[in-house]
Amino acid sequence: MSRASWTHLLARPVVRPLVGTAVRPNHLTTLRLATGVAACLSLCLGTRAGMWWGGGLWVLSAFLDRADGELARIANLMSRDGHLYDYYADTLVNAAFFVAIGIGLRHSWLGRWSVPLGLLSGASMLLCSLFAEWLERRSPPGTRAYSGKWGFDPDDALYLMGPLAWLGWLSPILVGASVGATAMMLISAVRLRRLRDEQDGRDAEAADRHRASPPSASPCGDQLGFRP
């Protein structure tokens, strides 16, 4: 994820007045989590009102996902614990969204397939997020698992889920997510496996070189009359 996408730039002036106040990034992360859960519960209803409320709460939750990180950066309040809290909140809420719309669309033309598709999409989103995090941890600093283009990050597409819920177009989105998210999860898994194998290979080569190198003579032994 970049730090200069359009959504980051939009959140920056909104959170700037909070710098120096009692509001902390974790407060915004908690609000993001609460609004995300509320959106999912609304979408589970499968009613017209549920879709409207769920879509609106989801857009707010997606915006708060950007706002907490921006506040942490411009107020110099970044911490590892805060990053982990934000990461796990995002991962769980994003996965729960697809499970929720799968439940909410049970009376649509998808019928009994909506719930399994929601579970598949949600599980794929969860694993994709985990694999992406592990990829970045094993890569050089500053490396992103998936880079955006033209000022947009890949997960900016989640903003569109709110308007699509209002328009009643979530059924094809769920079908597409069950295929697309699963494909991305498998690609991420393959990339992670290859990276791990490459690193294990380099570590093994380094260990072999270390074992093959002759031991150096001890200066103390020479002074005492010993020879190796």
**What confidence score (pLDDT) does residue 217 get?**
52
**What confidence score (pLDDT) does residue 48 get?**
95
User: Percentage of the chain surpassing pLDDT 90?
Assistant: 61
**Domain-embedded: residue 78:** yes
Longest dimension (CA), the chain: 92
Higher pLDDT, 112 or 197: 112
**What confidence score (pLDDT) does residue 147 get?**
67
Q: CATH number, domain at 81? A: 1.20.120.1760
With tokens 């290859």, the residue in question is 194
**Domain-embedded: residue 159:** no
The residue range of the domain holding 20 is: 6-149+168-195
- Neighbouring CB atoms inside 10 A of 91's CB total 18
In angstroms, what CA-CA distances link 175 with 8, 47, 123, 183, 223?
29, 19, 14, 13, 78
Q: Sign of dihedral through CA atoms 186, 93, 159, 149?
A: negative
**Domain-embedded: residue 219:** no
**Domain-embedded: residue 118:** yes
**Domain-embedded: residue 218:** no
Cα separation, 74 vs 124, in Å, equals 33
Average confidence (pLDDT) over 170-178: 96
| DSSP H helical ranges for the chain | 6-15, 25-45, 48-74, 80-104, 114-138, 161-167, 170-212, 219-223
Pull the structure tokens for residue 217: 């003579």
Cα separation, 102 vs 111, in Å, equals 10
**What confidence score (pLDDT) does residue 88 get?**
94
Average confidence (pLDDT) over 80-104: 95
Range of lowest pLDDT (10-24, 37-51, 148-162, 214-228): 214-228
Q: How many domains does the chain have?
A: 1
User: Percentage of the chain surpassing pLDDT 70?
Assistant: 86
pTM of the model: 0.82
226: confidence class by pLDDT, cuts 50, 70, 90: very low
Cα separation, 92 vs 87, in Å, equals 9
**Domain-embedded: residue 141:** yes
Residues 114/102, Cβ–Cβ less than 8 Å: yes
